[in-house]
Amino acid sequence: MKPKLKTTAITMSDELKEMPVFYNKNQCVNHDLGYSPSAKKPKLVVQAWKQMGYPITIHKIRALSIEEIAVAHDLNYVKGILNAKLNNGFGNKSQDVAKSLQWTTGSFFCAAVYAYLQKRNTFSPTSGFHHAGYNFANGFCTFNGLAIAAILLRKQHKAQRIGILDLDAHAGDGTEHIIDKTNCRDFITHYSLGYHDIQKHNNVEWLENLPVLIKQHFAHCDVLFYQAGVDCHEDDPEVYSGHFTTAQMYTRDKHVYATCNELKIPVVTNLAGGYQKPLQKIIDLHNMTAKAFQDS
Ligand SMILES: [Zn+2]
For residue 64, the number of C-alpha atoms closer than 13 Å in the C-beta half-sphere is 33
Ligand 1 centre distance from Cα of residue 232 (Å): 7
The domain locations on the chain are: 17-295
Ligand 1 centre distance from Cα of residue 282 (Å): 12
Ligand 1 centre distance from Cα of residue 159 (Å): 28
Assigned fold of 17-295: Arginase; Chain A (3.40.800)
Ligand 1 centre distance from Cα of residue 84 (Å): 24
Ligand 1 centre distance from Cα of residue 125 (Å): 15
Residue 104: Cβ within 10 Å count: 31
Query: pLDDT digits over 12-56, tens only?
Result: 445 899 999 999 999 888 766 666 666 778 899 999 999 999 999
Per the document, the length of the chain is 296
Query: pLDDT digits over 111-128, tens only?
Result: 999 999 999 999 999 999
Ligand 1 centre distance from Cα of residue 167 (Å): 9
- SS3 for 104? helix
Ligand 1 centre distance from Cα of residue 196 (Å): 13
Burial class (CB in 10 A: 0-12, 13-18, 19+), 198: buried
Q: Which residues of the chain have pLDDT under 50?
A: 1-13
Ligand 1 centre distance from Cα of residue 9 (Å): 39
Ligand 1 centre distance from Cα of residue 10 (Å): 40
Ligand 1 centre distance from Cα of residue 224 (Å): 19
The pTM for the full model equals 0.94
Residue 40: its pLDDT value, please? Answer: 76
Task: List, in sequence order, every residue forming a beta bridge with 244; answer none if it has no partner.
Answer: 233
Ligand 1 centre distance from Cα of residue 82 (Å): 24
Task: Give alpha helix (H) positions in the chain.
Answer: 2-15, 41-51, 66-69, 75-82, 95-118, 145-157, 173-181, 203-218, 246-263, 279-295
Ligand 1 centre distance from Cα of residue 69 (Å): 22
Residue 224: its pLDDT value, please? Answer: 98
Ligand 1 centre distance from Cα of residue 1 (Å): 49
Ligand 1 centre distance from Cα of residue 70 (Å): 24
Residue 79: its pLDDT value, please? Answer: 97
Residue 159: its pLDDT value, please? Answer: 98
